Structure 1
Amino acid sequence: MVSGKLIKLLVYEILEFVSFSAPTIVVAEQFASAYQRTKNVTEKTYYWLVVSISIAYVALLALVLWVPVKVLLHKKHRLCSKIKLWRPPLMICIIFTTLPCFGFSIAVTEIQKSASNSSTSSLPDTLPDLPVSLVLGSLIIVDIIEKLRKYPLKGKPIKNEDWHIHTTNLQQMKTVSEQVEPSEENNSVSEPARRNPMPKPRTCSQNPRPISTIADETPFNSGVLRAISHQDKRAAIFLSSFIMWSDTIEMLRVSGHSAVFKSGWLYPVYIFSYISLLRIALTPQKSLVNSAGVFLQDFPFIFVRIGLIAVLGTITPILGLLKNILVTLSYFYFNYFTTFRVFNTNETSF
């Protein structure tokens, strides 16, 4: 019988390899079709030449880079422990898959522009959504798989078991402290100061924080509300992975607008969208991810959206611009401005 661990590993690796190879071949095929239409010939020599080059490119990268890196990561556990700030599979996908796909997408629009100028065809009103959805969807799939590797797919998460062990240890520590306090009081009865005992101040140790954390995780004891309030890290990974890239997805969808790809705004939209994708290669647990999201996505998107709205109108939502501004201002204010003397005042929270 094949073990479940081996099956999970094979499924993960197949999905990651498809996400690594499929976008380049599909987007290159669209470029080949657009280039073939501009030639107005019945032969498909140029079409099959571009498709074969893309397949050879993917096969070469798989043999030279993808497979060796995967083997090293699975065999050399010491190497994995040293790589703490970034994830090699996602970095490979961003550099060798996403970058060529963006280049092919820009080349398709340039070919259609040249064809429209020569009066052989006209530009469409919108570009197809398949390249954007395929490229970003592949990156999200690889991101989810890399996050799910340390979690089992069956059974409860290990974190809940650690919480129960932690609470039992706290209860044992509390019983020991209750047994020690009466003995200390009996030994100190003979002291003169014992005649007027002072009340003991209340401390935070009576309500340990880990217990309240567990209560917050499961606030309902029974009924439908308890079933709805279940929280599992594995399900949250899928939710957070798609939500994190909603801003980049919206920005790339704007590039399909005719007013954008017919003008020079196509290039800054693709350039800054690609820069925002670089943060997916960072390890999610590190605090560097928050600052990278601001400096690589929200802060550059402010200027791109302001330029698009000023020149082409509200083709990009104003709510997206408001989100970028608020995220950037809140990051700088709470992380840097509050350290200054003007903002560093004690404030009572209600």
Structure 2
Amino acid sequence: MASGKIIKLVVFELLEFAAFSVPTLVIMEQFASAYQGTKNGSERTHYWLIVSCSIAYVAGVSLLIWVPLKVVLYKKRHLYKKIIGWRPVLVMCVVLTTLPSFSFSIAVTEVQKSTNGSATLLSDSLPDLPVSLVLLSLIVVDIIEKLRIYPLRGSQVGYENNDICVTSLQQIKTVTEQVVRSDENPASAQAAKPNVMPQPRNHVTVLAGPMEPSFQSGILRTMSQRDVRAELFLRSFLMWSDTVEMVRVAGHPAVFKSGWLYPVYIFSFISLLRMVFTPKNPLLSSLGILMQDLPFIFLRLSLIIALGTITPVLGLCKNVLVTMSYIYFNYVTKLRPFSAFETSPF
């Protein structure tokens, strides 16, 4: 009987391969249908030719890139440990799946424009399924790559809590050892006593916020259960909600019937490049500002000025506030007029 680790590995690999291959096939089939519409006649040669090319593309990149790289990462663990700060699987998905899918999604609109002779004769909205499938596939691969380090059975505490527990135990052990040493040899304990740095005179204690409740029994204790594996799904979807909203704007008639479709897809793809980096990469915060929030400010502001509030004003406010808060708390507070540390009495 197969072990739990083997089953977990097989399921994860099948889900990742499906997320890698299915979006391209769906987008290419949509493009084939649109291109077949330009041909007057019942012959479907062009349709099956494009579908065959899409199948050949997926099979080629899978056999030449996806499978060999997966085997290398699984067999050569020492090479995998040398990869720092980025994730090869997400690189393959973004470059080999998302980029072609976005490109052919734009091509579908251009083909429909050439067929109808005018952008005004296009449908009222673009189909949402293909683009949503592309983003969902990326999020699924992102979740799987984060979930690999966690077991799927039994309770599991997040690594952040583990680090806190380990640090606390180490501190308790150190204090215990010092007490034992002081009982055995007071002189040596006095010599080993660490130097305590004096607190600065202008040191101000940070006031704590409201205390959080704690439930030890009953239905409230059951409802207060938290697991890092479940929260991982929520964080992964919330992280890309802004990009999802921006891609949804591309389906608005005023956008895909005009040249605004190109900047929307381009900036949305640029924001997805952050998936390549590991979740705890120190550069991820600054890259989020440079690749998503800052470009989305100019894109959303331009769309609102040119086409009206087809994109929510709340999204623009989110991008502005996130960018300003990042710049202020990371850089402006280090300047002399803003460097004084102070707390609120309330």
Does the alignment reach a TM-score above 0.5? Answer: yes
- Counterpart CA distance in 2 for 1:321 and 1:304 is 9
The answer to whether structure 1 residue 87 and structure 2 residue 87 are counterparts is yes
Shift of 1:171: 4.6
Q: Distance in 2 between matches of 1:86 and 1:165?
A: 27
CA displacement at 1:291 relative to structure 2 = 1.1
What corresponds to 1:99 in structure 2?
Answer: 99
Deviations 1:114-163 (A, max 9, x none): 122179x9311110001111000000010001001111000122656776
Q: Does 1:340 align with 2:335?
A: yes
Alignment of 1:152-231 (within 5 A): 152-157=151-156, 159=158, 170-175=171-176, 219-231=214-226
Identity of aligned residues (%): 59
Equivalent residue for 2:145?
146
Task: Report Cα offsets for 1:277-314 as digits up to 9, x if no partner.
Answer: 00001000111111111110000000000000000000
Q: Is the 8 A contact 1:32 1:47 kept in 2?
A: yes
Residue 233 of structure 1 aligns with which residue?
A: 228
Larger of the two Rg values belongs to structure? 1
**Structure 1 pair 98/217, CA: closer, same or farther in 2 (3 Å)?**
farther
1:20-59 superposed matches below 5 A: 20-59=20-59
The normalised TM-score by structure 1 is 0.86
In 2, Cα distance between equivalents of 1:84 and 1:227? 39
Q: Which amino acid aligns with 2:149?
A: K
Q: Which of the residues 248, 268, 271 maps onto 2:266? A: 271
CA contact (8 A) 2:157 2:228 kept: no
Counterpart AA for 2:334: T
Query: The residue matched to 2:273 in structure 1 has which SS?
Result: helix
Q: How many residues align?
A: 324
Q: Give how far 1:170 is off.
A: 4.7
Contact 1:220 1:226 in 2 (8 A): yes
Larger displacement relative to structure 2 (224-233 or 147-156): 224-233
For residues 215 and 177 of structure 2, the distance between their equivalents in structure 1, rounded to whole angstroms, comes to 30
Q: Which moved more, 1:72-81 or 1:160-169?
A: 160-169
For residue 250 of structure 2, the aligned residue among 226, 247, 255 is 255
How big is the alpha-carbon RMSD for the aligned residues of Structure 1 and Structure 2?
A: 2.7
Equivalence for 2:300: 305
Q: Which runs of 5+ in 2 are unaligned?
A: 188-195, 200-210
Tell me the CA shift for residue 346 of structure 1: 2.4
Counterpart position of 1:191: none
